[in-house]
Structure 1
């Protein structure tokens, strides 16, 4: 059980290092409090990636179950919101408010038949 928790913690650290690398892994503040603030702010994008992955993993599991795929507890236990291969950490991002406040709508899930349009999340 301790080993499993260590694996989760290491996966979270791996994701944090990947996000931090977007600034080339450099602390850009020259004073201690600024460095602590910069590292503390890393939690926001880290939690955002976890939330995004959790929402879309849930939607994908529901879609698979609706399509008749046998979704088992053993399969679900292996899912993790700490994956990041689908994210371009070096891009530019625009965060806009949704058109209708309070309305939560996910984008369509991609299938194997979809063509790659070159855009990453």
Structure 2
């Protein structure tokens, strides 16, 4: 089973997303920074990437660009707490903080349906 990659410098966000998705049957890997996230993607291509818009040292948009080269076709979800309209062609979806975990689960299930039992 492929995994969901979460890249966010907020430990609580990583933990919440990981717990919510694992409870739903997904395998999840988290990265506290863009370097670790890209390293994990190089080791094994994820099925989906959720990445924070504002990461120290590199924007989430730039991370999605690099991930597209490393793992073509892997969809990306941009997570942001920024107010206003955020349009990012590299992202399949923009998820606004704070988000409801049931909305997160529904979004991930639509993008990466579970097949069989975990």
TM-score where L is the length of structure 1 = 0.28
Higher relative contact order (CA 8 A, sep 6+): 1
Q: Which structure dedicates a bigger proportion of its chain to strand?
A: 2
Which structure has the greater CA radius of gyration?
1
